[in-house]
Structure 1
């Protein structure tokens, strides 16, 4: 995958999904706030600017 952090849109015909790549959260307080993380999953951090970029893209694609 490319540079981190990143949010990738998948090219699925049955539903729209995203793949998140980011830095694994290791801060004990943050992990405590989130609670138990199931096996096979990780908590990652995605900066607000990445989410704003995708929100803007979605808004433009919707024609709004």
Structure 2
């Protein structure tokens, strides 16, 4: 599987950039998100148990808005 950069948080500092990538999977469309690891106990309690091999991350809304714009423009 390969990853292609879609959008990086424009307000992040160098080296601390929540980022969204597209993958080239052929069995389903997926993205890879790089973000801040959620450690807040209240947020983790709200989410509930996280299966092994998964993580809860936080990414800026602006990065997600980019994906919506891309999808609406038909760039799949």
Indicate the residue corresponding to 1:15 in structure 2: 28
- Is 1:41 aligned to residue 44 of structure 2? no
Q: Which runs of 5+ in 1 are unaligned?
A: none
Which residue is 2:18 aligned to? 5
Q: How big is the shift at 1:44?
A: 0.2
* Paired residue total: 62
RMSD, matched Cα: 2.1
SS at the partner of 1:50? Answer: helix
Q: Which runs of 4+ in 1 moved over 4 A?
A: none
Offset at 1:8? 0.6
- Where does structure 2 lack aligned partners over 5 or more consecutive residues? 6-14
Quote how far apart the aligned CAs of 1:14 are: 3.0
The normalised TM-score by structure 2 is 0.70
* TM score, norm. by length of structure 1: 0.82
